[in-house]
């Protein structure tokens, strides 16, 4: 059994505009992850630039910042065993055209930029992103159903 982890997940402006919020949250809940943070906000340029600082030298960076700040996003924190990898697997590969059916990007995206959702790519990134988007901390609770979800 792996470690209990918390990961940062964000539904991007295209996902919110397209009305995919309930479907996406449902997938994480149904999988068995525990929702420990939830915020809807229109990100400032500063927040978006800090979040995507690792990509600041890439040619798509300015377009990416414009996109992420273009409308409300839904920021979430999900906890579970191996949650970082579990979330990345639910989300699927970056380019929606190549993402397999059954993944969120595979089911809802045709694009590499407008790809509906973000998920932290490792433990260090998750810590950084959770602190950035949830500076007031997360909700400390346990789903009663976890006794059925885990052996």
Residues binding ligand DAT (CB under 6 A): 55, 60, 64, 94, 112-113, 115, 118, 121
Q: Report whether 114 contacts 37 (CB < 8 A).
A: no
Among 121, 128, 138, 143, binds Mg ion (CB under 5 A): 121
Euclidean distance between the first and the last CA atom of the chain, given in angstroms as a whole number: 9
Q: Report whether 6 contacts 138 (CB < 8 A).
A: yes
CA–CA separation, 70 and 37 (whole Å): 22
Other CB atoms within a 10 A radius of the CB of residue 116 amount to 24
Q: Which does 77 bind (CB under 5 to 8 A by kind): ligand DAT, Mg ion, none?
A: none
Q: Which does 64 bind (CB under 5 to 8 A by kind): ligand DAT, Mg ion, none?
A: ligand DAT
Least spacing, CB of residue 99 vs ligand DAT, in Å: 9
How many residues sit close enough to Mg ion to count as binding (CB under 5 A)?
A: 1
118: annotated active-site residue: yes
> Which of the stretches 30-38, 42-50, 58-66, 119-127 binds Mg ion when contact is defined by CB under 5 A?
119-127
| Residues contacting residue 85 through CB under 8 Å, at least 6 positions apart | none
Catalytic residue numbers, as ranges? 118
């Amino acid at each position: 059994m792996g470690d209990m982890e918390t990961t940062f997940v964000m539904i991007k402006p295209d996902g919110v505009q397209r009305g995919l919020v309930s479907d996406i949250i449902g997938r994480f809940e149904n999988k068995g992850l525990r929702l420990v943070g939830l915020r809807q906000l229109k990100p400032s340029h500063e927040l978006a630039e800090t979040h995507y600082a690792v990509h600041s030298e890439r040619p798509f960076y300015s377009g990416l910042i414009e996109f992420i700040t273009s409308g409300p996003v839904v920021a979430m924190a999900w906890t579970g065993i191996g949650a970082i990898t579990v979330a990345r697997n639910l989300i699927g590969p970056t380019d929606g055209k190549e993402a397999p059916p059954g993944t969120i990007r595979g089911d809802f995206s045709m694009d590499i930029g407008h790809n509906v959702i973000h998920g932290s790519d490792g433990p260090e990134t998750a810590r950084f992103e959770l602190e950035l988007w949830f500076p007031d901390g997360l909700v400390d609770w346990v789903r009663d159903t976890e006794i059925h979800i885990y052996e």
